[in-house]
Copies of this chain bind each other. A is one copy, B any other.
């Protein structure tokens, strides 16, 4: 959507240095941006790219303004400002309200008039779809779900049942919400399934990545608070509670009944055991295993970076002989007496 620099600056209350009539039609990276593109300088490591930019305008911090050969929009947090302005320049496509003829809505379900249900969408018993919701093709909303206003389900998402979602949520393809938790009781005859009777409760402004699964609770709900961001292929087990504005990168697994605080960051391929509590503001490094609760904010890690295979084989051998080394040192200490 073409928009003038002046209008952009005004809408977000930013100072503009340059011609307010410049029309922005796209966003682009600093080195690639052309005269109709908006770009930004956030990471000072890219500062050397600024003097040669051909962008229509650059969003940057006040102290960098003098080095720009083109119009600038001043903001303390250029990246966040860029994120917001980019969403104006490239808005999500709008879909006309209505239910596609191939969609199947149960007679006990309710769908707001402003919602858009695409082809092959199914909405189950007693479920309610809010205003301006977009439900992409192949998405299945099972029974007893509540979807808040302005949510967007891209395509082929599945809400098994009893999933309640706040407003403005974004759910990418393959996401599964409300699937049964992994509850099994061992008996002499084998596993007995423990009925999973809770639901999933998701706050406002939550985004869930492709093929991530969030199981329902066993008795109470699994809870995802407001503003949480979860990347692709993550697993949130039954009765987990994730605090507001926490972000999980791809392939993170949170085991059952674990409680994660607010504003935590879990890097990719991390995992936690079940039934632990992690306080607010905890960062967990990539591929790390969290085996017990965390009570102090900070960064927690336990991963070994890759090295050439031969070096690793040697290192592994030394690691395995640590006991022998300890014994040898003990002997030396004794003999020294």
Contacts and interface: CB of A to CB of B under 8 A. Distances in A.
A179 B235 contact: no
Nearest to A125: B93
A191 interface: yes
A313 B302 CA distance: 9
A186 B179 CA distance: 30
Contacts of A316: 304
A309 B301 contact: yes
Contacts of A253: 233, 250-251, 268-269
A261 interface: no
A112 interface: no
A166 to B, nearest CB: 13
Contacts of A329: 325, 328-329, 332
A28 interface: yes
Contacts of A150: none
A19 interface: no
A170 interface: yes
Nearest to A244: B190
Contact of A289 (B172, B211, B304): B304
Contact of A271 (B192, B268, B299): B268
B237 A195 contact: no
A299 B309 contact: yes
Interface string A166-204: 000010111010011011111100111111010000000
Given A154-B158, A174-B174, A271-B286, 10 more contacts: A87-B193, A154-B179, A172-B179, A173-B176, A211-B213, A211-B233, A233-B235, A251-B253, A253-B269, A315-B323
